[in-house]
Amino acid sequence: MRLVSFLALGALFAVGLGISGMTQPLKVLGFLDVFGAWDPALAFVMGGAVAVTFIGYRFVLARPHPFLGASFDMPSRRNIDVQLLAGASLFGVGWGLAGFCPGPALVALASGSLDVVIFVAAMFVGFLAKDLLVASDAAGPGLHADVP
């Protein structure tokens, strides 16, 4: 049941990304082009997602435990450090160059474009390079590794 939920949620998430416009790199670059012919539509993606998540999280976290697990596994770190800022900046450069962030790039593999395959392969090399080059936290990665 738990494993089925991961499969289904991956599909739901991907369909949301596709409908939203986030899987169109040119559209993303138009949204990021605030100093040019700015296309604000994608601001509504983050707006819609955060509105639903902000409200939904409050109801969910009022429960004693998740439906398919023993406890909630929430990120505990609070510190804003150099790694956070450097990592977010580097991510911003890549996102601004290609118009893909990780989720939409994975969904876009279904386009069959070899260019997307090249981008995703480079992204996975980047994931691995960080693990090999930068010491990770003592706690080790959970499912979300060390997201917020």
Partner 1 sequence: MIEPGSIPAALFGGALIGVAAVLMLALNGRILGVSGIAAGLIAPTSTDRLARALFLVGMLAGGVAIAVFLPSALPGAVSGNVLLLIPAGLAVGFGTRLGGGCTSGHGVCGMSRLSGRSITATMTFMFVAMVTVFIVRHLLEGN
Stretch 9-38 residues interacting with partner 1 (CB under 8 A): 9-27, 29, 32-36
Query: Which residues have a Cβ under 8 Å from the Cβ of 116 and sit 6 or more positions away?
Result: 100, 105, 108, 109
Residue 139 within binding range of partner 1, rule CB under 8 A: no
Give the CA radius of gyration of the chain: 17
Which residue type occupies 112? G
Sign of the CA dihedral with 137 first, then 139, 144, and 147 last: negative
Instruction: Provide, rounded to whole angstroms, the least separation between the CB of residue 81 and partner 1.
Output: 9
Instruction: Provide, rounded to whole angstroms, the least separation between the CB of residue 137 and partner 1.
Output: 9
Q: Within 99-138, which residues bind partner 1 (CB under 8 A)?
A: 99-103, 105-113, 115-116, 118-132, 134, 136
Binding mask 61-100 for partner 1 (x = CB under 8 A): x-x-xxxxxxxxxxx-xxxx--xxxxxxxxxxxxxxxxxx
Strand partners, 145: 142
